[in-house]
């Protein structure tokens, strides 16, 4: 396995675009919340470390990974119900955080395929707000733990770095 013994979440913040004025949305699945909360923590800590003000990070929780698509779509268009006028200016990027762990049925395959295609479709729509895919699709809970702050780092942190880079591309368009 290519990831054995490797922390894949190291980043060089000096090599990243200036994130100080960025506005980032994060949608977090409540399913497998021990995993998704760690992914959120990794993303949030990385965004703050790279200069994003905590007042410019917006979180929304959804029941499961399949629901990430709808919430991200609403965040793209700033139409989800939030009593926070700061969001009226729109977001620079959105991170979709979820965890799907293989079970005994084909449900895993349907959810993974649906969420993957849904996030891909959001990136092709006309909103121009990039949506970063941070959905773990592991065979076991141990594999998810290893990728959400364990031996392989934190995919939430990696998603935050991707969000910063994609937001910079959006701002340059």
Domain residue ranges of the chain, discontinuous segments joined by +: 26-172
pLDDT reading at 5 higher than 70: no
Q: What does the pLDDT look like over 113-165, one tens digit per residue?
A: 888 999 999 999 878 899 999 999 888 999 989 898 888 889 999 999 999 99
pTM: 0.89
Q: Which residues are catalytic?
A: 107
Q: 8: exposed, middle or buried (C-beta count within 10 Å: 0-12, 13-18, 19+)? A: middle
Number of H helices, E strands in the chain: 5, 6
What is the CATH architecture assignment of 26-172?
Answer: 3-Layer(aba) Sandwich (3.40)
Cα(173)–Cα(129) distance, rounded to whole angstroms?
11
């Amino acid at each position: 396995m290519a990831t054995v013994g490797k922390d894949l979440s190291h980043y060089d913040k000096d090599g990243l675009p200036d994130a100080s004025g960025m506005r980032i949305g994060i949608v977090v699945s409540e399913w497998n919340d021990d995993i998704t909360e760690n992914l959120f923590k990794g993303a949030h800590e990385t965004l703050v470390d790279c200069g994003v003000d905590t007042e410019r990070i917006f979180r929304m929780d959804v029941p499961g990974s399949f629901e990430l698509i709808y919430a991200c779509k609403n965040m793209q268009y700033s139409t989800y119900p939030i009593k926070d006028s700061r969001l009226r200016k729109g977001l620079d990027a959105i991170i979709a955080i979820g965890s799907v762990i293989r079970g005994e049925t084909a449900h895993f395959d349907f959810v993974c395929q649906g969420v993957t295609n849904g996030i891909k479709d959001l990136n092709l729509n006309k909103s121009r707000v990039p949506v970063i895919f941070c959905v773990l699709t592991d065979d076991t809970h141990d594999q998810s733990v290893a990728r959400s702050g364990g031996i392989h780092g934190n995919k939430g942190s990696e998603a935050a770095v991707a969000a910063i880079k994609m937001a910079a591309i959006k701002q340059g368009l």
